[in-house]
Structure 1
Amino acid sequence: MRDYVTYEWFTILTILGIFALTTAKYINALRFSDFISIIGNSKYLKIYSKDQKFIDPFDGLLFLNLTFSGSIFLFFAYSIFVSPLTFELVSFLKLLLALATVVIIKTLLERLIASLFEIDNIVDAYLFQKITFLNYSGLILILSNLLLLYTSLDSKIVIITSFGTILLINLIGFMTSFKNHQKIINPNFFYFLLYLCALEIAPYILLYKVISEYNV
């Protein structure tokens, strides 16, 4: 009965993620098409980074899917590779909220630092690129969750393959950003390393701590 209830909630959240993606495609089919083909094609970044807004409905819908799908994936991954988790709706919603909060606060903090150091244009372009690849990872996550929920494939293989694919996607995004801003990064490499530790690594360590205390 517990597994049935767990999968029922995961099904609802997966449907909400699919609905968010469908809505994003409905409000801007051309942009969604460009977004889907972003790997190996810089057209999306070149066109839409110029028109980015502080609150973008299109990106917001993609982020909703990332949050729903990411929370389910993290639940499965932690349960299988670290320690079995008991599904409790309130605790799971806290996990979902923690994931969304980490990404949002991290982004706002980066924007604040950019404003303080008057490098808004550079950081805005970098953040748009990073968020785009992160949202693209949401497509992999939702496919992965469907396999984990409704097929008999080995869960460990599905999770490892999905994690590797997501890591590769975001590495491509990171290397693209590094290449585009290499002239600025090279003379300030020490500060770049500090940035990586403080704003790229530490938030995800915090998120892991939240997951590890899931049942506490």
Structure 2
Amino acid sequence: MIREIISYEWFTIFMVLGLVFITTAKVLFTNRFLDFIGVIGNSKYLKLYTKDQKFIDFFDALLFFNLVISISIFTYFSYLTLEPSQSFELDVFLKVLLGITSLAIIKILTERLVGSLFEIDPLIDSYLFQKTSYKNFSGLVLLLINALLLYTINPSKEILLVAISIMVLINLIGFMTSFKNHQKVVINNIFYFILYLCALEIGPYLILYKIIVEYKA
């Protein structure tokens, strides 16, 4: 059975753009990129590059652009899959892309502000670097998943849930790695840690979910 084709031209263009960002990162930072792709199950990358972090890291920025593009493609494609009566609209996709990008940037800046206010910049910088590394890695995986969903696998609700589970697992590994590396600090400040989780980790996603639900309604 030939799968129904929607229109993947714009999806393809943005996926190629994401691939350009990844390729640029690989060409400009070859050794670092090779260390980066082994970040799952290997702490070498984190140990080597944590101390070299800057406020704006070009390598991470390139991978971040792919991440927000890949998340936007997956989000909108999932919506079109679950709502087959809807068709692709470029302006809607661009709003999704802008919303996800803005949310991610605001979240990072807020976390850095919290670090400055409580004078724990080194701890926050280390934590953000580790978390960002795993998120950017999930962006690489999500690019591949998007390609499979768009051009190979016939998408369904179950397959989308599997894809989401893979992304959650990767980021959960990153969270547990960060928790392990800062275990003593977290235990000594458990109240602030729980407050942080609610305000900066869980809260933004609940807000995003509410916005999506209201928009759909």
TM (norm. structure 2) is 0.91
- C-alpha deviation, 1:149, in angstroms: 0.8
Residue in 2 that maps onto 1:42: 43
The answer to whether structure 1 residue 71 and structure 2 residue 77 are counterparts is no
The answer to whether structure 1 residue 26 and structure 2 residue 27 are counterparts is yes
- Structure 1's 212 and 92: CA in aligned 2 closer, same or farther, altered over 3 A? farther
Residue in 1 that maps onto 2:141: 140
CA RMSD of aligned residues (A): 1.9
Residue in 1 that maps onto 2:100: 99
> What runs of 5+ residues in structure 1 fail to find an aligned partner?
none
The CA distance in 2 between the partners of 1:67 and 1:176, in whole Å, is 23
One-letter code aligned to 2:76: F
- C-alpha deviation, 1:214, in angstroms: 4.5
Identity of aligned residues (%): 58
The CA distance in 1 between the partners of 2:151 and 2:75, in whole Å, is 17
TM (norm. structure 1) is 0.92
The CA distance in 1 between the partners of 2:43 and 2:182, in whole Å, is 15
The CA distance in 1 between the partners of 2:206 and 2:44, in whole Å, is 33
Within 5 Å, give how 1:55-204 maps onto structure 2: 55-81=56-82, 85-204=86-205
One-letter code aligned to 1:192: F
The CA distance in 2 between the partners of 1:187 and 1:83, in whole Å, is 50
Q: 4+ runs of 1 displaced by more than 6 Å? A: none
The CA distance in 1 between the partners of 2:209 and 2:76, in whole Å, is 11
- Structure 1's 83 and 52: CA in aligned 2 closer, same or farther, altered over 3 A? farther
Contact 1:23 1:61 (C-alpha < 8 Å) held by counterparts: yes
- Structure 1's 187 and 18: CA in aligned 2 closer, same or farther, altered over 3 A? same
The CA distance in 2 between the partners of 1:107 and 1:30, in whole Å, is 26
The CA distance in 2 between the partners of 1:115 and 1:123, in whole Å, is 9
What is the total number of aligned residue pairs between the two structures? 213
- C-alpha deviation, 1:83, in angstroms: 8.0
Higher mean alpha-carbon deviation, 73-82 vs 173-182, is at: 73-82
Q: Deviations over 1:125-166 (max 9, x none)?
A: 000000110111101111111011101434334322221111
Within 5 Å, give how 1:195-214 maps onto structure 2: 195-214=196-215
One-letter code aligned to 1:49: T
- Structure 1's 173 and 82: CA in aligned 2 closer, same or farther, altered over 3 A? farther
Is the partner of 2:41 in helix, strand or coil? coil
